[in-house]
Amino acid sequence: MTRVVHALGYSLQGLGAAWKFEAAFRQEVILAFVLFPCAFLLANNHIELVLLISSLFWVLIAELINSAVEAVVDRTGTEIHELSGRAKDIASAVVLLSLILLAVVWGIIAWHRFLGS
């Protein structure tokens, strides 16, 4: 149980660091807080609700991964290196794909809710 408590503490420290040092994470958290209640209004059933909410969490997860990769790459040095750039670009692509997923999920469900048959 002690390990679980410590792991929770480390996770909360990670969330705190992301909030403190990553503007994009703060913006995405605010977006999630705005859209989360909207998901309950938009969803017609529990499956749609799960899709809407999980797409919000995927964006936050992707941003945390991106921030972690950037921190590790920046920690290793300030010189420009092809592999460092590639790692950062790939992590950034994870965020982009999660945002596209968010837009697709929300767009399809909103389309069916307001314009579909």
Q: Which residues are catalytic?
A: 63
Nearest to 57 by CA among 72, 41, 35, 38: 35
Rounded Cα–Cα distance for residues 70 and 2 (Å): 30
Structure tokens belonging to residue 8? 């929770």
Rounded Cα–Cα distance for residues 42 and 114 (Å): 9
